[in-house]
Amino acid sequence: MPNICTPRAATPGDAESISRSLARAFDDDPLMSWLLPDAATRGERLGRYFATLFRRQYGPHGRCELTGSAAAFWVPPEARDKAVPDAGTVHELMDILGERALLLREVVEQVAAHTPEEPHWYLAVIGADPEVRGRGHGAALLRSGLARADAAGLPVHLESSKPDNIPFYEHFGFTVSAELRPHADGPALWPMWRPAQ
């Protein structure tokens, strides 16, 4: 029986599994709860949100990996200019987020202003279904991406939207580089940086 905690590269056929795992992972995330305040519809909309990011943005232009119940979206430095939302992606995200899409744009713009210019790998999304948290799925995905960055001699950047996750990333060599509050009534974000190992 295969180890469901071993990362593998995602294929287009994995969209449903990935979006389901990430929707469950981010249901209690402060940023996503703020962007999608209606708890009754949040899960379905998060599923559509992550499916859109996978199909239109990170799947074609990044490196997406998954385990049995978790997924991660990585962007290598050579794909940085390609892995940005095109007009179709923006349209889908606006349909999912409604009037809150403008808030997401503000967040993205502020985060972009704090993104390091030097070549690096970017961890755009990582999450595990709450049913498997603490069983190594997220750590396996993180190690897999970090190994690629280390093999290339490159640092890694991410933003944590959940303060409870900061110690997890620190365990893998990341340090907080700033605290951002993109909107006055919104949650904080913490850009984090890990030098090449």
pLDDT means over runs of 10, the chain (197 residues): 77 96 96 96 97 94 94 94 83 92 88 90 96 91 97 97 96 96 89 95
Domain residues for 122? 8-194
Q: How many helices (H) and strands (E) does the chain have?
A: 8, 7
In this structure, what CATH number is given to the domain that contains residue 37?
A: 3.40.630.30
pLDDT tens readout for residues 166-178: 999 999 999 999 9
The answer to the question of residue 3 being in a domain is no
pLDDT tens readout for residues 103-112: 988 888 888 8
Query: What are the residues whose beta carbons fall under 8 Å from the beta carbon of 169, sequence distance 6 or more?
Result: 142, 158, 160, 192, 194
The answer to the question of residue 116 being in a domain is yes
Count of domains observed in the chain: 1
- Give the single-character DSSP code of 165: G
The answer to the question of residue 2 being in a domain is no
pTM higher than the cut 0.85 = yes
The answer to the question of residue 1 being in a domain is no
